[in-house]
A and B are shown apart, each in its own frame.
Chain A
Amino acid sequence: MMGAMASPTIEIESIGGHMASEVAKRSGASPMSCYQCGKCSSGCPVASRGDFKPHELVRMVQTNLHGPVLSSRFIWECTSCHTCSTRCPQQVDPAGMMDALREMSRALGAAPRSTVVPVFNQIFLDAVRDRGRIFELGLMIQFKLRTRRFFEDADKGRIMYRKGKLALSAPQVGGKAERKAMFDRAAEGGTK
């Protein structure tokens, strides 16, 4: 009986590769090269707290599990420390993959509600567009207003002020209109 059965094979093409190609196109990462050694996850500083570990997410990308990957909390807990990409024996570049997944997750509005990282990133980039540089105090106040986290770390502002670590006036680099046009062209993909 055993002899009559063909050994099971998984045709990578038949299960897609679409998600991996999308990730590769956006970031240059190569999820399809991963053979699951787990080196990325063993060096990852936040793997132990994530819903999935980096090597699991790579496998899930290989097998087109769009939903669970793009709504994963881990992709928003990744600190972009690049330990995984530095140590990967297959040049998969999991850190680059996470950038692509964050971009895809955000485009679909799939980020879990428990993460405020996308909100922070948007406030940060709006500030760069408007002022050219980050005004840390303004950024923190805006973030607190938007996320209504008024009491978390309330003492930190006082400490930083006392230690002279807070600039109290906002920087402003000229060329605001030019920067806005630059952000608009980037959003269009730099093709116009």
Chain B
Amino acid sequence: MSYAFFPGCSLEGTARDFRLSTMAVAQKVGLDLPELKDWICCGSTAAHSTDPLLADALPAKSLSAAGGATVAVACAACYSRLKTANHHIAGDAALRARVAQVVGRDYDGQTKVLHLLEILVRQIGLQRIRSAIRSPLAGLKVACYYGCLLARPPEITNFDDPENPTLMDQLLEAAGATPVAWPHKTECCGASFSITDPSIVLELSAQILLMAQAAGADCIATACPLCQLNLDMRQQEIEAKSGRRYNLPVFYFTQLLGLAMGCPADDLSLGSLIVAPGALLEAKGIGR
């Protein structure tokens, strides 16, 4: 199975570990992810907050180069922007013409975009995932955290139930983990306010950590570079402010899946995690 991979800017830097672990898992399940040629930044929140036309044109430029291939996305924010542009362009002929003027070529909004979670659960299938598991994540209680942009807005992403998505839960359950039931699956972590107003991230991410802990989770699994960075890098600061101890490792779901599939820790870049997962994995006998 082959998809044109749109890594997004974060996977070249702060989320390098997301990329490495994605590739490690892909190899285990026969998923081929050649990089979409000359992709450019999706424009992120900066574009849709500033200029709606540019916000549609930037994804259109990348997607129109896919040549009919289905595009696979890892970052939840890129996924949201690419799917939103498709939705706008496919549904509005006048906008499509304006975007064509801006980009310099016509794009019909029809390039299919899927998130890795959709591909692994719905295209590869849980049966195939189960057959690739070598070292089940037995006894590991995981809070599957989806963040804002995978499941919302549902009419655009068409990803899963917008209030209670379960794709990541299904996947990690297939890997032997125990997903916990918790209400903050799709609450916002504060996203890019990490740079412009960290007080927002400290407040929102604190609530997510608190709820994950209250639900009995040993760790959190994420599918978005900003969610991962905020919950991981800000955790110590949140602990200091609140006087509560969390010590919750914040994995990319691909890192947990990779561990269950027997990928070496280095291939999954577990050393990049700021809240070190070693003691937890050791205690659960995972990755040995």
* B242 beta carbon closer than 8 Å to chain A: no
Are B196 and A136 neighbours in the complex by a CB distance under 8 Å? no
Total contacting residues, chain A, CB less than 8 A: 62
Are A117 and B148 neighbours in the complex by a CB distance under 8 Å? no
Chain B residue at minimal CB-CB distance from A132: B40
Q: Which of B44, B102, B193 sits near A185, CB closer than 8 Å?
A: B102
State the CA gap A171–B2 with chains docked (Å).
Answer: 25
The dominant DSSP class at the B interface is helix
Are B101 and A133 neighbours in the complex by a CB distance under 8 Å? no
Q: Mark B243-284, 1 if CB is under 8 A from A, else 0.
A: 000000000000000000000000001011110000000000
Are B152 and A85 neighbours in the complex by a CB distance under 8 Å? yes
Q: Which of A80, A143, A165, A181 sits near B13, CB closer than 8 Å?
A: A165
The dominant DSSP class at the A interface is helix
State the CA gap A104–B178 with chains docked (Å).
Answer: 47
- Number of contacts between A and B (CB, 8 Å)? 173
* B64 beta carbon closer than 8 Å to chain A: no
Chain A residue at minimal CB-CB distance from B40: A132
Chain B residue at minimal CB-CB distance from A152: B198
- List the B side residues contacting A115 at CB < 8 Å: 196-197
Chain B residue at minimal CB-CB distance from A26: B52
Q: Which of B25-33, B53-61, B66-74, B120-128 contacts A (4 or more CB under 8 A)?
A: B53-61
Using a CB–CB distance below 8 Å, which chain B residues touch chain A? Answer: 9-10, 12-17, 38-41, 43-54, 57-58, 61, 97-104, 148-149, 152-154, 162, 186-188, 190-193, 195-198, 200, 203-204, 229, 233, 269, 271-274
Known: A81-B148, A82-B148, A117-B49. 10 other contacts (CB 8 A): A82-B153, A106-B50, A125-B50, A136-B14, A173-B40, A175-B38, A186-B51, A186-B53, A187-B51, A190-B53
